[in-house]
Amino acid sequence: MNREEALLIVKKQITEHRYIHTIGVMETAIILARRYGEDERKAETAAIFHDYAKFRKKQEMKNIIIRENMASDLLLFDTELWHAPVGAYLVEHEVGIKDLDILNAIKYHTSGRVTMTLLEKIIYLADYIEPGRHFPGVDEVRDVAESDLDLAVIMALRNTISFLMIKKQPIYPDTFLTYNDMVKQYRQEKGGKN
């Protein structure tokens, strides 16, 4: 399926505002894929479909999470997390995309996961730094993303965790685990400090 076909499918599922966000994520993901040596086509496809389930009814998403035996702890946390794993499921079953790399990039774009792949990091970060995003800390992450993908992901995770803590909101355990894993790997591989 080409870009135009994919965008047409997604446009029917989301609001106009979210569609503009999706275009920004797609363009950012392609740039990051080119910069860091990932398959641009996979990055484009994962970015286009990353919010495919964003506006599905909460009950529908809950039913899918239960029926498909997805991480049951998801139901204990903010419903904003649900659209990522449910989206991966729906993209596979409604759209017919079977590429596990693409599906996992969609599945983990909100929470991250331990040992994220390059594509997963790109989609996570593209969603965070796309040009339409405006919040404290995003410009610093954008700057770092130009030269150090892993450090940019660490910064995005740290900012997200800090934001949720300030708001006194529960933090999904996978996000903490992702942050810890990324910091540990970064220190081992690059000898850096975040």
For residue range 143-180, what is the model confidence (pLDDT) as tens digits? 999 999 999 999 999 999 999 999 999 999 999 999 99
Looking at the predicted structure, is the pLDDT value of residue 194 above 70? no
Residue with tokens 């996570």: 124
Overall domain count for the chain: 1
Give the CA distances from residue 43 to residues 2, 3, 117, 121, 143, in Å, rounded to whole numbers and listed in that order. 13, 11, 12, 10, 20
Q: What residue numbers bound the domain in which 117 lies? A: 3-135
Does residue 93 sit within a domain? yes
**DSSP letter (8 states) at residue 75:** G
pLDDT at 158: 98
Cα separation, 18 vs 22, whole angstroms: 6
Is 22 part of a structural domain of the chain? yes
Other Cβ atoms less than 10 A from the Cβ of 194: the count is 14
Q: Is residue 126 situated within a structural domain?
A: yes
pLDDT band at 115 (very low <50, low <70, confident <90, very high): very high
pLDDT for 190 equals: 80
Task: Give domain status of residue 14, yes or no.
Answer: yes
Quote the pTM value: 0.96
- Residues contacting 5, CB < 8 A, separation 6+: none
Tell me 95's DSSP state. I
Give 62-87 pLDDT, tens digit per residue: 999 999 999 878 999 999 999 999 99
Q: What letter represents residue 145's amino acid?
A: A
- Residue 193: pLDDT band (50, 70, 90) is low
pLDDT at residue number 71: 80
pLDDT at residue number 192: 54
Q: How many DSSP H helices and E strands does the chain contain?
A: 10, 0
Q: What is the CATH number of the domain that holds 68?
A: 1.10.3210.10
Q: Going by C-beta distance under 8 Å and a sequence separation of 6 or more, which residues neighbour residue 163?
A: none
